[in-house]
Structures are given as C-alpha cells and as structure tokens.
Amino acid sequence: MKQQGLSFEPFEVLVNSGDTQQLQPPITLIPGYLNQEQQAALLNEVKSYPLSRPEVQVYGQTHPIPRTQVWFGDSGCDYRYSGLFVSALPWPKYANKLREKLYRDFKLETNGVLVNRYADGRDSMGWHCDDEVEIRSGSDIASVSIGARRDFFIRHKVSLQKYQIPLNSGDLLIMHWPMQNEWEHSVPKRLKVMEPRVNFTFRLLTKHYHPK
C-alpha cells in the first residue's frame, strides 16, 4: 500500500516560500497504529537493548550523539551512517513482531531497524536524510514512536519549505521513496519534555553491501 501524502492537510506549514508552488512531502501518517499493549511490550523490551551513545565527527570535531541508539537487522545487513559502521545485532522478539506487522499491513519489506532513545527533551536529532548507499533504491522507511510526544520536522532541501508534525506514542509515519533525496528531517530539543521517547525506523538494506 502506497498512500502518498495521505495525511497532508493537518500539518502546519511553518515556512511558506511566497508564490512558489507548495510542495508536499511523500509521507503517510497513521496515528495510533500501535495499541497500549503493543507499546508497553516494546517499551519493556527496550530496557534490555544494548543502547549506546556513539561519537560522531561534525565539522572535524568529535561529539557524542544527543541520544542513545542500537541497530538490529538480518545477518549481512550492516549499516554505515554518520561515519559509523554498525554490525546488525539479531532481532529482539517484539521489534521483529512489529516488522512483521508492517509487512502484513502494508507489504512493507524491511530487514533492519535503527532504535533511537531520547531520554528527555534535551535529546534530539539534527537535520539529515537517510540516503545511505546501502538503503535499497525505491524502498520506504517506516518510523514508529513510543513514549513522549515530540515534534518531527520535515524540510525541503531546495525550497526550505518546512512542516511540523507532532508524533504521539503509537504513531506510525511512513517516509515514502524518494523522500530522502528531496527532504531532510529532524527532532529538535524540547526542554519542557521530561519523559523518554523511543523511535524505531525500519529500513530495507542491500544485504552484504559491506563485504566482511
């Protein structure tokens, strides 16, 4: 199922570039995709994840990322992003159940998931796009959020038109191909947020892209 821009209307446009054509990011938002029980099972499972805070290079300087994360995937689905190389750890039970559910519901095929944990509103993710070479051309990225509500921003790379989408616990946001080529996204700091949030982004990689 591909529903391009299905839930477009409610999004708040922050920057409108005058008389240029209004662009729409190719996304589908499904609020409340996971019920309370599914959310609780995942949140409980996250407690056992080997989350880490890797250091990345930004303009020649090394900084720990402002959140913790872990990458799970099928064997051979290792991932290189932000100058890091991460081998796929085997799928935990409920993360894998969610992957299977995405396939059942949307025929969305994925073989890896990046889990990001934002401890509170001081944690964040800067502007980026998920356009790494090992991501399969034509594939969609499915993002599931659990925990604190956080604002998700989408910005067009050329016109800089920007959308703000509040993501609540249990929401699913599908970023359809070729969104990553044309748009960036971010999760800015929100200092009033005191609760943690966990986000799962399911991706489809070319297996064995990185030879062992």
Ligand X SMILES: O=C(O)CCC(=O)C(=O)O
Q: Which residues line the annotated binding site?
A: 79-81, 116, 118, 128, 131, 185, 197, 201, 203
Q: Which is nearer to ligand X, 145 or 161 (CB)?
A: 145
> DSSP per residue over 108-150, as a string?
---SEEEEEEE-STT--EEEE----TTBPTT--EEEEEEES-E
For the CB of residue 166, give the shortest distance to ligand X in the complex, in Å. Answer: 11
List residues forming the annotated binding site for substrate: 79-81, 131
Among ligand X, Fe ion, none, partner that 110 touches (CB below 5 to 8 angstroms by kind): none
Site for ligand X in 142-181 (CB under 6 A): 143, 145, 152
By CB under 6 A, tell whether 187 contacts ligand X.
yes
Spatial distance between the Cα atoms of 90 and 204, rounded to a whole number of angstroms: 15
Closest by CA to 124, choosing from 160, 84, 151, 155, is 151
For the bound state, the minimum distance from the C-beta of residue 21 to Fe ion, rounded and expressed in Å, comes to 25
Q: Which is nearer to Fe ion, 36 or 126 (CB)?
A: 126
Q: Does 130 bind Fe ion (CB under 5 A)?
A: yes
For residue 161, the 8-state DSSP code is: -
Q: Which residue, 17 or 66, has its beta carbon nearer to ligand X?
A: 66
Binding segment (CB under 5 A) for Fe ion, from list 20-28, 98-106, 122-130, 176-184: 122-130
Residue from 130, 132, 151, 182 binding ligand X (CB under 6 A): 130
C-beta closer to ligand X: residue 144 or 161 = 144
Which of residues 143 and 161 has its CB atom nearest to ligand X in the complex? 143
**Look-up: residue for tokens 């799970």?**
72
Cα–Cα distance between 115 and 51 in angstroms, integer? 8
- Whether the CA torsion 107, 108, 113, 118 is positive or negative: it is negative
Residue 86 near residue 132, CB atoms below 8 Å: no
Report the residue closest to ligand X, judged by CB: 199
**φ, ψ for residue 58 (rounded to 5)?**
-125, 120
| 8 Å CB contact between 53 and 65 | yes
CA dist., res. 67 & res. 50, Å (int): 13
By CB under 6 A, the count of residues binding ligand X is: 11
What does the binding site for Fe ion look like in residue numbers (CB under 5 A)?
130
What does the binding site for ligand X look like in residue numbers (CB under 6 A)?
114, 116, 125, 130, 143, 145, 152, 185, 187, 199, 201
